[in-house]
Structure 1
């Protein structure tokens, strides 16, 4: 079965790991009461991971536009092909929208984003006490939507692996030959 190319596989798994880490860190940091040095450190790490996800997602999208993915296994029903197509589109949209909404929320809160504490990122607008709670909710719900979609994506991959036994999961596995690239 044709596999994804090595760059696509590496970007996929890096983005997945960073999204999981950012999500967990977001849950942990928001549960810390008050404004402690630990909480501030976690917020910085969360922002850095989010910016990294956005950069990696941009690379992944460019790669995806240049290289078509391998075809789905022969005999995959049309509805599953359409579901996979739309799920991937939604995943890409949310992988971009979540960090962008977090960035906007941070700016509305009046906190600049300084990548790795060294590189100040652009400030597109200043503090906005009206927009801040709206963007917080938008960021939260986009993030929860991404989490739900990632779980659905994983469930679909596992269904193909253990129920359909069609080898679909091997296309994106980091463990295996990438002789057939797509």
Structure 2
């Protein structure tokens, strides 16, 4: 259940894979939504779904961040044959920081897009998230552009993160990827 210095527990793996799946859905939904015309039947429902899922992911990310701060983290796998290992560990730490920071920037920009007209957001038409700022005509477009740039940036870092995990698995043949998969063994490399 809990992380150890060798492996991620199921709580950390749950957050990782749930948020990864939700982020993928949100990215795809966002790409589809921007192409909708006013007369498309999904013009109102998909943006509402995108906002609702986004707010749920925001809550999950806050809980995940708290979990990361209070639990131990598995130590990096050392391989003395890997050149520039310290540099790789620092790069990995930087990418992980970015993978936590960019979603929060996305949530803020998405919130500003959705509340730029002064109206609240409703999560699945039930929970109201009020607008904290008065209506601002230019805010929606500016926040929308920022939201798009951050979304594409996050997608790029996710691809980099996945490529690094696959490199560890197939080239280094270490257990870096296995530690984040369900039921991974920590006794064999």
With the shorter chain as reference, the TM-score category is over 0.9
Q: Is the 8 A contact 1:6 1:178 kept in 2?
A: no
- Secondary structure of the corresponding residue to residue 133 of structure 1: helix
Is the deviation greater in 53-62 or in 121-130?
121-130
| Bigger RCO (CA 8 Å, 6+ sep) | 1
Q: Is the 8 A contact 1:26 1:46 kept in 2?
A: yes
Over the aligned positions, Cα root-mean-square deviation in angstroms equals 1.8
Q: TM-score, normalised by structure 1?
A: 0.92
**Residues matched between the structures, number:** 179
Is the deviation greater in 28-37 or in 167-176?
28-37
* Structure 2 unmatched ranges of 5 or more: none
CA displacement 1:18-76 (0-9 Å, x = unmatched)? 00000100111111122433121000110011101111100110000001210111226
Structure 1 residue 122: deviation in Å? Answer: 2.0
Alpha-carbon separation, structure 1, partners of 2:19 and 2:183? 17
- Pair 1:81-2:93 in alignment: no
Which of the residues 8, 13, 17 maps onto 1:13?
A: 17
Alpha-carbon separation, structure 2, partners of 1:107 and 1:178? 47
Q: TM-score, normalised by structure 2?
A: 0.89
Q: Is the 8 A contact 2:76 2:89 kept in 1?
A: yes
CA displacement 1:141-172 (0-9 Å, x = unmatched)? 11111111101000010010111111110111
